[in-house]
Structure 1
Amino acid sequence: METIANPELPDTMRAITFAEPGGPDVLTLEEIALPQVKPEDVLIRVAYAGVNRPDCIQRAGNYPAPSGASPILGLEVSGQVVAIGEDVPPEMLGQFVAALTPGGGYAEYCTAPWQHCLNVPEALPLKEAAALPETLFTVWHNVFERGLAAEGERLLVHGGTSGIGTMAVMLAKAFGIEAIVTCGDGAKCAAAREIGADLAINYREQDFVEVIKQHTKGEGVNVVLDMVSGDYVPRNLQCLAEDGRHVTIAVLGGPKADLNMAYVMMRRLTLTGSTLRPRSDAFKAALADEIAQTAWPLFTSRELKPVMDLSFPLAEAAAAHARMEAGEHIGKIILEVNPD
């Protein structure tokens, strides 16, 4: 068998590239060849692409693409499947999907393993669908699988109005978990409460450790989703209840932390963390299967909706990156690629 494709596919496409690492201004729009479709891949005509913090870190030269992945930025897209590899179920051709990609999303066409795709019904707008895979896969794995968050527990999330933060709050509330967040100003705290956070702490004005101790009457939280690391880690541990779980998914505050391991022992704390992009295709496929059964129906039924920030045309990817790095956004930033 060979690749099955729409006969009207072009030979080239527009994509965002950069010749060397740097600030947002290094991003340029170029005409390049369509990606090759591997046996287990689908080729997606991209409608929208999500913008994520790892994209900015890769552009700056600090997060290289895994071996074999596209050097083009973009870890999540939505759109229509227009070609399939020989090992892909034939019914995938023509479907509208949201996909977790190993890269390549900032382009008119993008490949992804077919098992990393989630079906997008008519009720779910493609723009919103593109805002879901990266944060949904990340939060589900780290809060619920690694962090073992369960109904009746408490979750602390730093960066409560980021894409990850808003997703974590929504899923926590959907599964009966109290959501506590930190934000950098009063407006973002208000936005976080509107999204569903039970408590939003302005970390510039309050000591989140003391506020959490007061709020929980000294009990603490059961899970911390940490995107800061660095000197936040010992403070996070002070927030944890006995048998609490600390899950690190980014090191924006630095990769090293000074810990009192006797405290970890006495309170039986668990410290873990993960990165999603380098994980195997088989792992991501299994994660997609679990999400399809548990969390995805909350979005396809419209019970939950992603928090959307601004959208930018593909050619304005630099402006999208500048907005993310300025910290002005609330929710997901989206690139409009083929929005028709």
Structure 2
Amino acid sequence: MIKSIFFTITFVFLISLPTLSRSQRCNKDDEKVLFKIKKSFGNPYHLASWQKTLDCCQWYNVECDANTSRIISLTIFSGNISGQIPDEVGDLPYLQTLVLRKLTNLTGEIPSAITKLTHLTMLRLSWTNLSGPVPSFLSKLTNLNFLDLAFNDLTGSIPPELSTLKNLNAIHLDRNKLTGVIPESFGTFTGNVPDLYLSHNQLTGTIPKSLGYLNFSTIDFSRNQLTGDISMFFGTNKTIQTADFSRNSFEFNISEVVFPASLTSLDLNHNKIYGSLPAMLTGLNFQYFNVSYNRMCGQIPQGGDLQTFENTSYFHNRCLCGSPLPACT
């Protein structure tokens, strides 16, 4: 009987050990920083779980490393958060993911304190009212593989220093008020060739020829004021899959372009592109295709996926004809 009680007590004690360790796993330095961040945002209800009565690794919006118990992710999404990004964000030294997204009352500029986050791999500050420039100091975040600054009020030019980030898989600078040209340096990415999203800005000038030396998978330069020839992004040796150059002033002869077999989405609407559609387009597997509002002529090649799209993908050209447009005469 006594032996049975002893084993029972021992078992209860042992299984309680993980619970005790879990209750003390939050790093106190990280906890202090989070409380400062909460205060700077006005102690919003969205961060109500940030209380001393609960381990900070269990707080909403926070993730800790299982081994070190240091905070590695801070994701604040779609909350009633007001104020500016506090400098204290830079005092979470093990942070790998920082997401402040769909916070329409978040204002001010991107703070340089972010450069202290040397382990950061994802930076997503999007759908806010952040203003000021796209900071060149972001190039110091050498471990970044995803940069999203879309849907803000950022102004000024695109910093050429971003091309020094060797691990980037994607750059989202779309839906801002950026001006100037696309940097020549964007043709010199030495590591990954990132997907480029620069749409819905006020960019001007021609596309640097250096970009044609790289092999992009996704490019979206739509809704800017760009000019010139973008055929350098295509060719038999390319593997581009999605290309959106719509609503610019690009001007080139499309009949001379060789489109790669990898291409599945092509949007060229509202430009000044001329020539006839090459027959090779019938051999591609398109999920999306639009060449409307240009200056093209000739018969639309018959076959493949080209006739699966509505006439709106072709209309308002100089003299394109054939299905799904009216027959050629």
Q: Normalising by structure 2, what TM-score? A: 0.31
Who wins on radius of gyration, i.e. which is larger? 2
TM-score, with structure 1 as normaliser: 0.30
Query: Higher relative contact order at CA 8 Å, sep ≥6: structure 1 or structure 2?
Result: 1
